[in-house]
């Protein structure tokens, strides 16, 4: 499996869910599941032996940093954590120049930053693969882990309904692009003015045209959750939106994922959240700590799915 997949992926960037087809998403997830099993058995899997990954962070992180760093180590490679304070980027060196220089040292780059354009500029200037570790626009690695978790629990994608409640943010954008690619229906419910960007909705609808998936963007949280197999939410104020926190808590309250709201979902629904969670805000303890919650598996799957990406792209 590895040799043919590597031929397909070697040298490519992973900046957006738009960069991969539904078939490719399934293939990456299948390989990630194999890597998870290989790790469980304790078998060697040094697919990145002698390789290095530069990890540029312009925003804080727990999961992304640790899962990429540990993942690179487990693959026999080495990861460098580079915060903006550590780089001349913080003192005015351009992203394009940083890309050219780092490409002479490392075999791949992962970046977490604000603007998607910056990630694209880094990739354009780099001669090695670049992976998006979150921008304001998308969080593609997260959504790969989400889909892997859905596949593990439900055994399939086709015909499932995913309901996303709350802010039309980076995670919501990547879910909108990913669900139609694998044949899942997605309904997003957000307060008026806080929905996903039109450009993403159009791209999701274009992806759905080939797959029969339904894409809905509405404001009614009950309608969104009705009959859902997967219920997803995220923080109401993403990194960079902290100043709007108080206002957002007021506006988003009806979108809280709690027992009353999820009573409209299928009895065997699962709950996902990329974390960090704000308990008592977008989700109650009852749900995140309850039987439907798969958030810890979801967090773990970041490691496996990113290892699959690293082993294939670098």
Smallest separation, CB 139 to ligand NVA (Å): 6
Mark whether 302 is an active-site residue.
yes
103 or 293: whose CB is closer to ligand CP? 293
52 or 238: whose CB is closer to ligand NVA? 238
Rounded distance, CA 73 to CA 53, Å?
10
Out of 16, 149, 233, 238, the only residue in the binding site for ligand NVA (CB under 6 A) is 238
User: Where along the sequence are the contacts to ligand CP (CB under 6 A)?
Assistant: 61-64, 134, 142, 274-275
Rounded distance, CA 63 to CA 61, Å?
6
Encoded tokens for 32: 């990630």
The catalytic residue among 146, 167, 274, 294 is 274
169 interface partner picked from ligand NVA, ligand CP, none, CB below 5 to 8 A per type: ligand NVA
169 is an interface residue for ligand NVA by CB under 6 A: yes
Residue 240 burial (CB count, 10 A): 10
Please answer whether residues 136 and 128 qualify as being in contact, where contact means their C-beta atoms are separated by less than 8 angstroms: no
176 is an interface residue for ligand NVA by CB under 6 A: no
Chain centroid, CA 77 distance in Å: 23
Mark whether 48 is an active-site residue.
no
Smallest separation, CB 114 to ligand NVA (Å): 10
Mark whether 139 is an active-site residue.
yes
175 is an interface residue for ligand NVA by CB under 6 A: no
Mark whether 141 is an active-site residue.
no
Smallest separation, CB 239 to ligand NVA (Å): 4
State the Rg of the chain over Cα: 19
Of 4-12, 90-98, 165-173, 179-187, which segment contacts ligand NVA by CB under 6 A?
165-173
Main-chain phi, psi angles of 108, to 5 degrees? -170, 160
Binding to ligand NVA in span 100-159, by CB under 6 A: 134
Please answer whether residues 48 and 313 qualify as being in contact, where contact means their C-beta atoms are separated by less than 8 angstroms: no
The catalytic residue among 13, 58, 63, 142 is 142
Out of 203, 235, 295, 311, the only residue in the binding site for ligand NVA (CB under 6 A) is 235
Chain centroid, CA 290 distance in Å: 23
Please answer whether residues 188 and 195 qualify as being in contact, where contact means their C-beta atoms are separated by less than 8 angstroms: yes
Residue 21 bridge partners (DSSP): none
Rounded distance, CA 306 to CA 67, Å?
8
171 is an interface residue for ligand NVA by CB under 6 A: yes
Please answer whether residues 200 and 175 qualify as being in contact, where contact means their C-beta atoms are separated by less than 8 angstroms: no
Of 66-74, 91-99, 167-175, 177-185, which segment contacts ligand NVA by CB under 6 A?
167-175
Rounded distance, CA 182 to CA 26, Å?
8
Nearest of 70, 4, 65 to residue 31 by alpha carbon = 4
- Strand boundaries in the chain, DSSP class E: 52-57, 78-83, 108-112, 130-132, 161-165, 185-189, 215-218, 230-233, 270-273
Smallest separation, CB 176 to ligand NVA (Å): 14
Smallest separation, CB 188 to ligand CP (Å): 18
238 interface partner picked from ligand NVA, ligand CP, none, CB below 5 to 8 A per type: ligand NVA
> Interface with ligand NVA by CB under 6 A: which residues?
134, 169-171, 234-235, 238-239, 274
Q: Please identify every residue annotated as catalytic.
A: 112, 139, 142, 234, 274, 302
């Amino acid at each position: 499996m590895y040799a043919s997949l590597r031929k397909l992926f070697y040298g490519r960037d992973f900046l957006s869910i738009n960069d991969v087809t539904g078939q490719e998403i399934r293939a990456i997830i299948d390989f990630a599941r194999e890597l998870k099993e290989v790790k469980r058995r304790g078998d060697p899997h040094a697919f990145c032996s002698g390789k290095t990954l530069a990890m540029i962070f312009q925003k804080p992180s727990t999961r992304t940093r640790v899962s990429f760093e540990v993942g690179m180590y487990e693959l026999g490679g080495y990861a460098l954590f580079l915060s903006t304070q550590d780089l001349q980027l913080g003192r005015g060196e351009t992203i394009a120049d940083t890309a050219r220089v780092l490409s002479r040292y490392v075999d791949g780059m992962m970046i977490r930053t604000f603007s998607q354009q910056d990630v694209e500029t880094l990739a354009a200037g780099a001669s090695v693969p670049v992976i998006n570790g979150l921008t304001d626009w998308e969080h593609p690695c997260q959504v790969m882990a989400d889909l892997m978790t859905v596949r593990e629990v439900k055994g399939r994608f086709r015909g499932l309904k995913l309901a996303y409640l709350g802010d039309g943010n980076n995670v919501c954008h990547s879910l909108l692009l990913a669900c139609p690619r694998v044949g899942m229906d997605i309904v997003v419910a957000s307060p008026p003015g806080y929905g996903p960007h039109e450009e993403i909705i159009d791209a999701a609808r274009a992806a759905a045209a080939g797959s029969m998936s339904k894409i809905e963007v509405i404001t009614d949280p009950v309608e969104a959750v009705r009959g859902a197999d997967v219920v997803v939410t995220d923080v109401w104020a993403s990194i960079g939106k902290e100043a709007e926190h108080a206002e957002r808590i007021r506006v988003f309250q009806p979108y809280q994922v709690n027992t009353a709201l999820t009573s409209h979902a299928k009895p065997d629904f699962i709950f996902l959240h990329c974390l960090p969670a704000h308990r008592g805000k977008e989700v109650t303890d009852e749900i995140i700590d309850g039987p439907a919650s798969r958030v810890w598996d979801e967090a773990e799957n970041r490691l496996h799915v990113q290892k699959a990406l690293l082993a294939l792209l670098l």
